[in-house]
Chain A
Amino acid sequence: MGNFGYLFAGYTVIFVLLGAYFFSLGGRLKNLETRVDSLENR
């Protein structure tokens, strides 16, 4: 029954991957929107 270490590791992997990808999408989107704006205003 003492499997909490594996359980903790499993959910850590899930949330690190999901969180990193989710927030990286936000960052990439913001970056591209800024680039498009600056290119179109040129």
Chain B
Amino acid sequence: MKLQKPLDIAAIVLIIAALYMAFMFAPVERMMGAVQKIFYFHVASAWIAFFAFFITFVFSILFLVKQNFLFDDIAESSAEIGIMFCTIVLITGPIWARPIWGVWWTWDPRLTTTTILWFIYAGYIMLRKFIEEADKRAKFAAAIGIIGFIDVPIVFFSIRWWRTIHPNVVQKGGGGLHPDMLKAMLFAIFAFSVLYAAMMLKRVRIASLSRRIDAIGENNG
């Protein structure tokens, strides 16, 4: 893959730049202090997780329509990367919450729905491991990839639908966010998007090579 190396390098450089934006460019928040800087990579991880699950949703539909296994590979790869970013969200959230809210965890609607999201896609990955027949595995996984995505808008809108203590920065005026903080956040999302693309390129190739090994094994009896 000619694109892989430049994409890997671009992702690393952009993440270093995103760190600079978060620590040097964005001002220190007056009330929360330094710990608020977790916010930039926490939010970026959440957006990439949502985007990754959206890609799984789209390619699961495409697989069911076209029956092309490349679409199944893309859906699987995106779900795995999405769950990795979702794990980062679920770990960095409590680390940020502890000094600010005084507790590691609370059953707030945003936190609860995000945990459910993690379990849905963990179930998706586990299901894929348990079903040996490729066609059946892809079809069942596609069904979960489509139905499971329902939780993503629920996570997003949970802080508007229910009473919550989770901050809301995606609203008119940026939720009172300083313009430089907004720039640092958007840059972190951009850097993570390039990282997602680099990871996807590798992960989809892994899926297609695994499929090829299975095919060679079947041909050899």
- B contact residues vs A (CB 8 Å cutoff): 32-35, 37-38, 41-42, 45, 81, 84, 87-88, 91-92, 95-96, 98-99, 195, 198-199, 202-203, 205-206, 209-210, 212-213, 216
Number of interface residues of A (CB under 8 A): 25
In angstroms, Cα B140 to Cα A28, docked, is 25
Say yes or no: B34 contacts A3, CB within 8 Å.
yes
Say yes or no: B202 contacts A35, CB within 8 Å.
no
Distance from B84 Cβ to chain A, minimum over Cβ atoms (Å): 5
In angstroms, Cα B85 to Cα A13, docked, is 11
Say yes or no: B205 contacts A29, CB within 8 Å.
yes
Which A residues lie within 8 Å of B41 (CB)?
10-11, 14
Q: A6-B95, A25-B199 are in contact. List 4 more A-B contacts (CB 8 A).
A: A4-B34, A6-B98, A10-B96, A17-B91
Which A residues lie within 8 Å of B202 (CB)?
25-26, 29
Say yes or no: A7 contacts B34, CB within 8 Å.
yes
Which A residues lie within 8 Å of B213 (CB)?
32, 35-36, 39
Say yes or no: A17 contacts B84, CB within 8 Å.
yes
B206: contacting residue among A13, A28, A39, CB under 8 A: A28
In angstroms, Cα B95 to Cα A18, docked, is 17
State which residues 5-30 of A face B: CB under 8 Å: 6-7, 9-11, 13-14, 17-18, 21-22, 25-26, 28-29
